[in-house]
């Protein structure tokens, strides 16, 4: 596939003639390997809605505003190698999008607030030819997250360079009571099979603890994911029940928290606490390998290793829970996992609609060029000046993306 400057008149007109898909090898920015050195202002280029492609547009804009990922697609030689070997891959199609959203010609710094947009036809065709079309459209409110996750999987599959270290004999995992043994086993196995920038940025390790109610001996496992789901309606009901039965906190504090929940107001920190809570007797009729008896078990998931880029899916369920989620630009996760730290909000995907099947997606992205917030509404891009009004209280947030701050 050729990434030289497109001279086709029709394409030039569609892309307003200033969007260049090629990085010049003589461009001095190439030596820095960082897009920050290349732009004084963010280009702020919109994506035209091709007919129910708003979910795709917001996902592309959020990916584009993840600095490490965009740097990788703009400048890493491995991307060129993949495109050469697989010109019809998702990587090749997404590379075209990135080069249009971040053009490299001499006029790119003049794009700021110029209402420029283009049609992502090729990428849309790639989605509907390569992914499972019924995946999208069944539940419109979740289409953006379905696509987000599908693209992460596709990108990892195409970018993955497994180590295949056959000399590292992992052996058979037997003793699930030995946490360090289990951790080493899963870590080595996972690293042998998975090696991509997707893993570097998004990978989460969670610790699963299953405790027999008879012998009280926990069994430990580790598993990996690229995102965390917070089921808001379930969380609200669980939190209400927990507060009502909690006699250890101040009565006024309890009443205040209950009143917020009854008003359908949830804090993102409540999501973390509820996510990691112990589910007492939630697993039924298990055969415990320690005491060899059929028993119930307690179940708990804990964050063990936190990612560079933390993706939260705010699942509002079949009943389309419309409660408000309170979240800040800075999220303190120092108490979570072995590598907890401070995170900064960079992307919010919001859904505007009355139910799961009739709505519209809009993205709010914090530019890593000028640290300002911008709203991406298909072809229209505009600056956001009021975080509380235009992001927290704007529609129903469905996806939050935080990045780890340096020097935690």
**Residues 241-264: pLDDT tens digits?**
888 888 888 888 888 888 888 888
- Listing DSSP states for 302-340 in one string gives EEEE--SEEEEEEE-TTTT---EEE--SEEE-TTSSTT-
- In angstroms and rounded to an integer, the radius of gyration of the C-alpha atoms of the chain is 23
Query: Tell me, what CATH number does 326's domain have?
Result: 3.90.70.10
- Check pLDDT > 90 for residue 160: yes
Q: At which of 159, 185, 217 does a domain end? A: 159
pLDDT tens per residue across span 343-398:
999 999 999 988 888 899 999 999 999 999 999 999 999 999 999 999 999 999 99
Query: In terms of domains, do 305 and 389 share one?
Result: yes
- The better pLDDT of the pair 135, 371 is held by 371
Task: Look up the pTM and report it.
Answer: 0.86
Say if CB 116 and CB 16 are below 8 A apart. Answer: yes
Query: Could you tell me if residue 335 is inside a domain?
Result: yes
Query: In terms of domains, do 240 and 356 share one?
Result: yes
Query: Could you tell me if residue 173 is inside a domain?
Result: no
Of 148, 139, 147, the C-alpha closest to 355 is: 139
What per-residue confidence (pLDDT) applies to 407?
59
The bridge status of strand 46-47 relative to strand 117-118 is parallel
Where helices occur in 119-250 by DSSP H, the ranges are 121-130, 143-159, 179-193, 197-202, 232-244
Query: Could you tell me if residue 167 is inside a domain?
Result: no
Element (H, E) at 35: none
- How far apart CA 146 and CA 133 sit, in angstroms, is 11
Query: In terms of domains, do 105 and 211 share one?
Result: no
What per-residue confidence (pLDDT) applies to 138?
58
Q: What is the mean pLDDT of residues 141-161?
A: 91
Say if CB 79 and CB 23 are below 8 A apart. Answer: no
Query: Could you tell me if residue 370 is inside a domain?
Result: no
- Check pLDDT > 60 for residue 13: no
| Residue-number span of the structural domain to which 349 is assigned | 203-361+381-404
Query: In terms of domains, do 237 and 348 share one?
Result: yes
Query: In terms of domains, do 132 and 211 share one?
Result: no
What per-residue confidence (pLDDT) applies to 24?
34
Q: At which of 128, 144, 159 does a domain end? A: 159
Query: In terms of domains, do 147 and 210 share one?
Result: no
pLDDT tens per residue across span 283-337:
888 888 788 888 888 999 999 999 999 999 999 887 888 889 999 999 999 999 9
- Indicate the number of domains in the chain: 2
Q: What angle do CA 359, 360, 362 make, to 5 degrees?
A: 145
- How far apart CA 154 and CA 90 sit, in angstroms, is 7
Least confident of 12-21, 78-87, 338-347: 12-21
What per-residue confidence (pLDDT) applies to 135?
58
Query: Which two three-digit tokens encode residue 227?
Result: 């995102």
Burial of residue 381 (CB within 10 Å: 0-12, 13-18, 19+) is: buried
Say if CB 342 and CB 331 are below 8 A apart. Answer: yes
């Amino acid at each position: 596939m050729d990434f030289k400057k497109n001279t086709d008149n029709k394409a030039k007109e569609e892309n307003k003639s200033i969007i260049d898909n090629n990085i010049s090898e003589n461009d001095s920015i190439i030596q820095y390997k960082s897009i920050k050195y290349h732009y004084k202002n963010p280009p702020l280029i919109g994506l035209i809605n091709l007919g129910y492609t708003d979910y795709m547009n917001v996902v592309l804009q959020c990916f584009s505003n993840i600095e490490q990922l965009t740097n990788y697609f703009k400048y890493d030689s491995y991307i060129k190698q993949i495109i050469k070997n697989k010109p019809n891959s998702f990587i090749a199609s997404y590379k075209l999008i990135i080069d249009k959203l971040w053009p490299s010609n001499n006029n790119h710094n003049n794009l700021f607030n110029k209402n420029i947009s283009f049609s992502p036809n090729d990428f849309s065709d790639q989605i509907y030819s390569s992914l499972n079309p019924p995946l999208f459209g069944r539940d419109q409110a979740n289409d953006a997250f379905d696509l987000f996750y599908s693209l992460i999987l596709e990108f990892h599959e195409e970018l993955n360079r497994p180590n295949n270290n056959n000399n590292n004999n992992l052996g058979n995992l037997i003793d699930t009571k030995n946490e360090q043994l289990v951790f080493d086993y899963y870590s080595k196995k996972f690293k042998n099979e998975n090696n991509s920038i997707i893993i570097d940025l998004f990978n989460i390790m969670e610790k699963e603890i299953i405790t027999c109610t008879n012998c009280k001996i926990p069994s430990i496992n580790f598993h990996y994911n690229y995102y965390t789901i917070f089921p808001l309606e379930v969380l609200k009901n669980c939190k209400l029940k927990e507060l009502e039965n909690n006699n250890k906190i101040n009565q006024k504090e309890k009443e205040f928290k209950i009143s917020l929940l009854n008003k359908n107001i949830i804090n993102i920190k409540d999501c973390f606490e509820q996510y990691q809570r112990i589910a007492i007797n939630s697993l039924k009729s298990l055969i415990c390998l320690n005491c060899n008896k059929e028993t119930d078990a307690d179940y708990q998931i804990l964050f063990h290793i936190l990612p560079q880029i933390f993706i939260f899916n705010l699942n509002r369920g079949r009943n389309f829970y419309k409660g408000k989620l309170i979240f800040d630009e800075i999220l303190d996760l120092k108490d979570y996992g072995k590598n907890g730290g401070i995170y900064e909000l960079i992307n919010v995907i919001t859904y505007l609609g009355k139910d799961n099947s009739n709505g519209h997606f809009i993205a709010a992205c914090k530019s890593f060029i000028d640290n300002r917030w911008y709203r991406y509404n298909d072809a229209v891009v505009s600056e956001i000046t009021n975080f509380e009004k235009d992001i927290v209280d704007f529609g129903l947030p469905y996806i939050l993306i935080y990045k780890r701050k340096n020097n935690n």
